[in-house]
Structures are given as structure tokens and as C-alpha cells.
Amino acid sequence: MKSLRKLRPAPGLELQEVAPPAAPAPGEVLLDVEWTGVCGTDLHIDEWTSSYHFLAAALPVAVGHEFSGRVAACGAGVSGLAAGQLVAVRPSVVCGSCAACLAGEPDGCVTRRGIGVLRDGGFAAQVLVPARNCVSIPAGVDAEVAALAEPLTVSHEAVRTGGVRAGDRVLVLGPGNIGQGIALFARAAGASQVVVAGHGDAARLAVLRRMGFEDLVDFAEQGVDEGLAPFLAQGKFDVVIEATGAAAVVGLALRVLKTHGVLVITGIHAAPVAIDLTALLRQHQQIRGSYRAPEQDWPEVVAFMRTHQDTLRHMITHRVAIERAHEGFALARNRQATKVMVRPGEALA
């Protein structure tokens, strides 16, 4: 089978022919991968940025952690999953033996390993995953929409971390897949206004417009001050959620955040960011980090997918076969796409 793999600690990914996985061990499931999304993490691993040098010891490894699949076979002791069942996959594999795991708090596991990062992931026709990492997808949800589950949980967690409440005014910095999901969940939380801003992001802002958002700003066209002026005339924002990974926007975020407001950082930053702590404390502002979602939130996100599937389909802007995965990566890197879905198995029609 074909597999897109990171082979060495240097830039680049390679498409290889590899043997299919072995039969699933006890507690494992073999999945026929349906769709795998290209994520910012995959781009960082491809480029070999410093934030991902930690995976060097795991190489070679098949990348891809946003994927859906159908159960092909179950190992001994697996229950609740049947052949053909569509599942999304929680990519964080906990150890089961650290103090947090033994206390029944897997979200606190200190030795977790990421599928598609430290063990083989979804850019392959088949993959072995722990059964406990499979989240059943209800009938009626498309397999490609199911592959959005992981990034949607990241967006959901960012909104929860920000404490967005009914009536809040929210600014989302970054209109990519995570930012779009943040906008959706902020709207669902009752925000009175959701403004989404980007820079040279016309294609992604157009997707947001199709998703029903109107308060959109492209700083490349208007500039920061001009673009945000109409919204700041109504007052500063209650919550700002950063989903860019660009250091330059952090100062902006704090500048447009109200007193006692909350800034959520969800972008991956490759280097430390300078912050004016004196201004922060005088305005009683808070900065909160948001990363992966707790396991208990996945069913809530799956329920949201079921009821908002028509809206979520707008996020998927490109579909490619695994033979053209590098083209999909280029589309994502150049911000021409919101979400590129790769078909690892059977050819696209």
C-alpha cells in the first residue's frame, strides 16, 4: 500500500510502497482509512520546523492525524466496534500506566504518543489504532466530514477555554480550518458578534462567508487599524482567539482586548513572543493556552457534526488522491485551501 512518510530528520515527506499493517493486537483495531486531512502539523513536519524535532527518534513514520476510517478487523478484547463501522480517531494515545492514567484521568497522561507523529498515522490505506481511540460516527455523517472531527475538537476547546458566553463579542485571528471552527463554536455559544480576520486570506474568508459569517477582515487589503475600526467603534472585544501561530498578532490581540478580557492562544508558535506584562496586569487581561480537547468533549463535537454537516462541508475545499498529496500540501501551505482531504485508499472518481 502507499504511505506518505517522514523518513529522516530533515525537510520533506516521501510517498512509499509499504507492507500493510499486521493483524491487530489485543485492544487494537485495523482501519481502512477513508479520508485524511492535511493539517498545519503535517506542514510543520514536512518543513521540519523546530517545534517538531522531538519526533526524530520515531522515524520513519507515516504522518496524518486527522482521519476517518472503517473498521476492518478487531483485536482480542475489543467490544463495541463492528466491521464496517465508520469512526473518527482521537490521535493522542495515552500510556495507561502513569499516575494520571491510573487515576482515571487520561487527559493528564505525561507519556502520550501522537498517531501520525510518534506512531503511524492516516496517510496510508490502512492503519492500526487503539480501540479506545476510535470514536463512532453516527449514520448519515459523511466520511470526509468525519475526518474533520479532530480539528473541530481543537476549535471547540479554544472556545471553551475562552469562556465565550451569550452576548460576547469575539475576534478570531486566523481564518484557516481551526479559526473557522472557532467561529462556528463561538456562534453556537451565543456570541453576539464574531469577527474573523486574516492576512492575504481571500479564499478562506470566502469559505467563512458561505458559512454565514459577514464580519470578515483581510488585513492585506485594509490594514489592521482600518480593518478593525468599525468593530472597535463598538468597544473592544470580550474574547480574542489567536489561531495563526504568527507572533506579530499577539500584541494586536491584547491591544483590541477589553479590560478583564481573555486572549486564547491556539496557534503553534515556533519562538518565544514578547508581551507587555505591565499593560496586561493593569487591564486585568488573561492569556490562556488551548491545545487538545479532553476526551469527554469528542461526543459533543460529533453531535455538532451531525446537526451542522451542511455547513461543515464548506470547509473541505480540495480533495486529492494520495498520489497527489504533495499538491494538496502546497495548496494548504499557500492558503489557497481551507481543508485539503486526501484519499489514501481507493482512487478518486
To the query of whether residue 317 is one of the catalytic residues in this protein, the response is no
Select which of 44, 314, 318, 326 is catalytic: 44
This prediction has a pTM of 0.94
In this model, does residue 224 exceed pLDDT 60? Answer: yes
**What is the CA 138 to chain-centroid distance, rounded?**
21
Amino acid (1-letter code) at residue 330: A
State the average pLDDT for the chain. Answer: 95
Q: What is the pLDDT of residue 336?
A: 84
d(CA 344, CA 323): 8
pLDDT of residue 270: 78
Report the pLDDT value the prediction gives residue 260, as an integer from 0 to 100.
98
The alpha carbon torsion through 69, 6, 291, 201 (nearest 10 deg) reads -90
- Only one residue has cell 517545534, namely 51
What pairs with residue 241 in β-bridges? 172, 264
Mean pLDDT of 236-251: 95
Look at residue 346 in the predicted model and tell me its pLDDT. Answer: 72
For the segment 155-175, the average pLDDT, to the nearest whole number, is: 98
Residue 41 annotated among the catalytic residues of the structure: yes
* Grid cell digits, residue 279: 499593560
Short-list 46, 16, 38, 36, CA closest to 88:
36
- Residue 51 is predicted with a pLDDT of 79
What nine digits make up the cell of 302?
460529533
Domains defined for the chain, CATH in brackets:
2-147+308-343 (3.90.180.10), 152-289 (3.40.50.720)
240-249: average pLDDT: 94
pLDDT tens track for 24-42: 999 999 999 999 999 989 9
Cell 480517531 maps to which residue? 89
Taking the C-alpha atoms of residue 303 and residue 80, their distance in angstroms, rounded to an integer, is 18
- Dihedral over alpha carbons 105, 272, 115, 101 (to 10 degrees): -10
For cell 527518534, what's the residue? 57
CB-CB contact of 31 with 335 (8 Å): no
Give whole-number Cα distances, 302 to 60, 138, 312, in Å: 32, 8, 12
Q: Are 69 and 89 in contact (CB under 8 A)?
A: yes
Kindly report, residue by residue over 63-83, the tens digit of the pLDDT: 999 999 999 999 999 999 999
CA dist 243 and 266 (Å) reads 5
Confirm if 236 and 257 have CB atoms less than 8 A apart.
Answer: yes
Let me know: does 97 contact 156? Beta carbons within 8 Å: no
User: Distance (Å, rounded) from C-alpha 54 to C-alpha 61?
Assistant: 13
pLDDT band for 335, please (50, 70, 90 cuts): confident
Instruction: Give the residue-averaged pLDDT of 224-228.
Output: 95
Catalytic residue among 36, 41, 161, 266: 41
Residue 151's alpha-carbon distances to 56, 221, 238, in angstroms, are: 24, 28, 24
Q: Residues of 155-177 as b/e, b for ≥16 C-beta within 10 angstroms?
A: bbbbbbbbebeeebbbbbbbbbb
Q: What is the bridge-based pairing of β-strands 2-6 and 61-62?
A: antiparallel
**Over pLDDT 70: what percentage of the chain?**
99
Q: pLDDT digits over 44-53, tens only?
A: 999 998 878 8
- Can you name the residues that pair with 341 across neighbouring β-strands? 37, 319
Contact (Cβ atoms closer than 8 angstroms) between residue 47 and residue 11:
yes
CA distances for 216 relative to 197, 241, 242, 250, angstroms: 6, 15, 15, 19
Task: State how far Cα 247 lies from the chain centre.
Answer: 19
In the predicted structure, residue 84 carries a pLDDT above the cut 90: yes
pLDDT digits (tens, 9 = 90+) for 102-117: 999 999 998 999 999 9
What pLDDT is attached to residue 348?
Answer: 57
Model confidence at 347, pLDDT cuts 50, 70, 90, reads low
Over residues 88-147, the pLDDT tens digits come to 999 999 999 999 999 999 999 989 999 999 999 999 999 999 999 999 999 999 999 999
pLDDT digits 0-9 by tens, 271-303: 889 999 999 999 999 999 999 899 999 999 999
CA distance linking residue 242 with residue 219, whole number of Å: 15
